[in-house]
Amino acid sequence: MTVERVSITLKARQVVDKLRAKHGELIFHQSGGCCDGSAPMCFQKDEFLIGSRDVCLGEIHGCRFYMASDQFEYYKNMHISIDVSKGCGSSFSLEIPLGLRFMTISRIFTDEEIKHVHPVEFRQAI
Amino acid sequence: MAANPDETASQRPTLREKYDNYIGGEWVAPVDGGYFEDTSPIDGSVLAKISQSNQKDVDLAVKAAWKAAESWNKSSATERSNILLKIADRIEENLDMLAAIETWGNGKPIRESSLVDLPLAIDHFRYFGGAIRSESGESSDLDSTRVTMEVHEPLGVVGQIIPWNFPILMAVWKLAPALAAGNCVVLKPAEQTPISIHALIEVIADLLPPGTVNIINGFGPEAGKPLATHPDIKKVAFTGETTTGRLIMQYASENLIPVTLELGGKSPNVFFDSVMAEDDAFLDKAIEGFVMFAVNQGEVCTCPSRALIQENIYDEFMERCLKRTEAIVMGDPLEMTTMMGAQASNDQYEKILNYMDVGKQEGAEVLTGGEKFDNPAHPNGYYIKPTIFKGNNKMRIFQEEIFGPVVSVTTFKDEAEALAIANDTLYGLGAGVWTRDIHQMQAMTRGIEAGRIWCNCYHDYPAHASFGGYKKSGIGRETHKMMLNHYRHTKNIIVSYDKNKLGFF
């Protein structure tokens, strides 16, 4: 049994559905840094150039979830769940005009889970 | 003193019901007629309606800017300098009003907006007004008949995307050098905090030739993207986070234009044991330096969010720092006695609380705070207690920018370990070093990989001192005259005074 690194809440799925109806296929990229950093960004597939060193943590509700590999070093032992809250971020993430903001909820894997956790993929291997 | 909500409402500055775009010197409704509501983080109430712009509005603004550029790009340094100095005077005359709007829009305490944000904004206009009068180009005699000259010319029209943590000051950091260098500007404020920039424009509008500064409100994907990809925009300046920073560079590559980026940090604040050698004014200053993580509710790119304390003074020093942190007064941000205000938005508030949870799960110890603050003055605002975690540098709370009033503390044995921990980060924006040993200070300041090192001080942002990042913290240097060259071309001119041909053809 493989343990997924990333999941998505029902509420966030509904927002993804809404955005997908308008924009087509989507991806997520976890941001770092100031202001709206440390939060997931949702883009149209092919809008954001996935870096050759970025890693894919898995797929949530049909959207691949990426992160810079150096940032992933600090997420290796964590499960993350993508949720949504009311808000008004100022990035280019697609949900922002809806008055909503995706966010990352983290949980440390148990010792048992960590043995079976989903391996990450590099872009070249996709 | 906590004001009751009715009293506070009466302190509200007079705002317009809605804020349109500012294009070509006029307030222009968005082409497609959309508006969104801007709420105050102080109490969650609606402040005004804001135009929800898209590509059509951006096109109008860029066109207006190029029209103004015909004369502004060729204006004299004297003319531009005089205008910048008048702008500074005008802001100074309206300081109290602008500071109040800044606090209502962003949530920061009024003592910061009126004593820090606005005075610095004024000074940055004066600094760049002065810088362009005192600088000169370069010329060299190559030989007896040839002279080479390096002259500067503005880029034309530039795009600027402003963050929400210092809505006026960050706009001025970008506007002042761009205007000083002779450019026209299309600026997009952050959607959480657009009003204060409009209030500022209102008081200086008559000083600026129409079209030199244009303001487009709206959301990143709808208004930010058309600005960042516009083929007639000659440079983009952005302050924000790394994923959007990458996207801005990607968009800039479509038009092969330069960018400057400021993308945050995880700044170390390093305290060596000599700070406790005496119980004197300097120790008192160092303790204040530790508590600087609470400035602007921690919503500062250079927030000293990692404190590194030499292990032999840890217990005694932290005891003093804890006392000082717990003495932080929270309350109505409109009161001059309030030291910490509201986080700028609901999603920011939620994100900070999520990181508190991450820290606890990672095994970090909460020394104080660690939770929301129920503000009796404004029960519906976004308030969080100043928080100190103790943990180690491999934890996410030591590695990721929380952008809240949260400091993560760890200890070190010696200088080598302090330097290793300080540099063990993806970022390199700011750092603080506190010591009475000048040799140690030199070793640390040269050893730390960051664009700004504060020695025995912190959170000082004077004009005439460059600001920018190493590593993933960005590209470019603001708040110094070197920023002028990020806003202009260098043209080389070679003049021959020789009447004779080369003899080749």
Kindly state whether B32 is in contact with chain A, defined as any CB-CB distance less than 8 angstroms.
no
In sign, the C-alpha dihedral spanning A17, A83, B427, A89 is positive
The predicted model gives B301-312 an average pLDDT of 98
Locate the chain B residue with the closest alpha carbon to A106.
Answer: B358
Which residues of A touch chain B, with CB atoms under 8 Å apart?
Answer: 29-39, 41, 43, 47-49, 51, 68, 70-71, 74-75, 78, 85-94, 96-97, 99, 101, 103-108
Which pTM was predicted?
A: 0.96
A41 → chain B, closest CA residue? B243
> B326 at the A interface (CB within 8 A)?
no
Which of B9-18, B192-201, B243-252 has the weakest average pLDDT?
Answer: B9-18
Distance CA B505, CA B503 (A): 6
Q: Is residue A68 scored above 60 in pLDDT?
A: yes
pLDDT digits (tens, 9 = 90+) for B315-374: 999 999 999 999 999 999 999 999 999 999 999 999 999 999 999 999 999 999 999 999
Residues 6 or more apart in contact with residue A121 via CB below 8 angstroms: A55, A56
Q: Do B396 and A37 touch (CB under 8 A)?
A: no
Burial of B119 (0-12, 13-18, 19+ CB in 10 A): middle
Which residue of chain A is at minimal alpha-carbon distance from B189? A90
Written as one letter, the residue type at B190 is: A
Q: Please tell me which of the candidates A71, A88, A106 has its beta carbon nearest to residue B345.
A: A88
- Interchain contact, B221 vs A94, CB within 8 Å: yes
Neighbours of B14 (CB within 10 A): 8
Under CATH, which number does the domain A6-117 receive?
Answer: 2.60.300.12
- Does B391 contact chain A (CB < 8 Å)? no
- Cα distance between residue B421 and residue B187, in whole Å: 38
pLDDT tier for residue A124 given thresholds of 50, 70 and 90: low
In the numeric block, which tokens belong to residue B215? Answer: 């303001």
pLDDT category, A1, cuts 50, 70, 90? Answer: confident
Tens of pLDDT, residues A89-112: 789 999 999 999 999 999 999 999
The pLDDT score that the predictor gives to residue B66 is: 98
**Rounded to the nearest 10 degrees, what angle do helices B77-93 and B167-180 cross at?**
160
Residues B270, B444 contacting (CB under 8 angstroms): yes
Domain locations in chain A as residue ranges: 6-117
Cα separation, B252 vs B259, in Å, equals 7
Q: Given a cut of 60, is residue B8 above it in pLDDT?
A: no
Question: Strand B35-39 and strand B26-28: pairing?
Answer: unpaired
Beta carbons of A34 and B357 less than 8 Å apart: no
Tell if the CB–CB gap between A34 and B403 is shorter than 8 Å.
yes
State the sign of the Cα–Cα–Cα–Cα dihedral B217, B219, B222, B225.
Answer: positive
Chain centre distance of CA B491: 30
What is the dihedral angle through the alpha carbons of B67, B71, B73, B74, rounded to the nearest 10 degrees? 160
Task: Name which of B163, B245, B403 is nearest A90 (Cβ-Cβ).
Answer: B163
Rg (CA), chain A: 14
B418 near B426, Cβ under 8 Å?
no
What pLDDT, on the 0 to 100 scale, is given for residue B23?
A: 98
The whole-chain average pLDDT of chain B stands at 96
Q: Which residues have CB under 8 Å from B452's CB, separation 6+?
A: B302, B429, B430, B431, B465, B466, B467, B468
CB B290 within 8 A of CB B310: no
Tokens standing for residue B365: 């110890």
DSSP B378-433: -TTS--B--EEEE--TTSHHHHS---SSEEEEEEESSHHHHHHHHH-SSEESEEEE
| Side chain identity, residue B165 | N
Locus of tokens 């912190």: B458
Distances (CA, A) of B197 to A61, B121, B150, B229, B304: 39, 12, 35, 23, 27
Q: What is the mean pLDDT of residues B219-236?
A: 97
Q: What percent of chain A has pLDDT over 90?
A: 83
> From the candidates B222, B225, B241, B303, which should be mutated to test the interface with A, based on the most A CB atoms within 10 A?
B241
Q: Please tell me the predicted confidence (pLDDT) of residue A123.
A: 65
Asked if residues B330 and B385 have their Cβ atoms less than 8 Å apart, the reply is yes
- Residues B87, B360: Cα–Cα separation, whole Å: 48
Q: Does the beta-carbon distance from B192 to A34 stay under 8 Å?
A: no
B375-433: pLDDT as tens digits? 999 999 999 999 999 999 999 999 999 999 999 999 999 999 999 999 999 999 999 99
Q: Is the pLDDT of residue B9 over 50?
A: no
pLDDT by residue (tens digit) across B90-113? Answer: 999 999 999 999 999 999 999 999
Q: Which residues in chain B have their CB less than 8 angstroms from residue A108's CB?
A: 361-362
**How many degrees, rounded to 5, is the angle at CA B460 between CA B471 and CA B406?**
65
| Of the candidates B339, B462, B360, the residue with the CA atom closest to the CA atom of residue B405 | B339
Which residues in chain A have their CB less than 8 angstroms from residue B426's CB? 32, 70-71
Interatomic CA distance for residues B405 and B407, integer angstroms: 7
pLDDT of res. B5:
45
- B214-234: string of b/e by CB count within 10 Å (b at 16+)? bbbbbbbbbbbbbbbbbeebb
Q: Where are the beta strands (DSSP E) in B14-164?
A: 18-19, 21-23, 26-28, 35-39, 46-51, 138-143, 146-154, 157-161
Give the confidence band of B447 by pLDDT, cuts at 50, 70, 90: very high
Q: What is the pLDDT of residues B21-35, one digit of tens each?
A: 999 999 999 999 999
A61 torsion bin: left (phi>0), alpha (psi -120 to 50), beta (else): left
Element (H, E) at B131: helix B118-134
Tell me, what's the pLDDT at B1?
37
B391 to chain A, closest Cα gap in Å: 14
Which residues from chain B sit within 8 angstroms of residue A54, using beta carbons?
Answer: none
Interface probe, candidates A15, A18, A38, A110, chain B, greatest B C-beta count within 10 A: A38
Catalytic site residues of B? Answer: 262, 301
Give pLDDT tens digits for B59-70: 999 999 999 999
Closest chain B C-alpha to A40 CA, distance in angstroms:
9
> What percent of chain B is predicted at pLDDT more than 70?
98
Written as six digits, the tokens of A113 are: 């889970």
CB A97 within 8 A of CB B52: yes
| CA pair distance A40, B353, nearest whole angstrom | 16
pLDDT of residue B179: 98
Check pLDDT > 90 for residue A62: yes
- Tokens at residue B111, please? 């003592």
* pLDDT value of position B10: 40
Rounded to 10 deg, the angle between the B415-423 and B438-447 helix axes is 30
Q: Is the pLDDT of residue B503 over 70?
A: yes
pLDDT of amino acid B6: 43
Per-residue pLDDT band at B4 (split at 50, 70, 90) = very low
Single-letter amino acid code for the residue at B94: N
| Nearest CB partner across the interface for A92, out of B165, B220, B348 | B220
Both tokens of residue B212?
């030199």
- The closest CB to that of B426, out of A30, A70, A85, belongs to A70
* Mean pLDDT of the region B197-215: 98
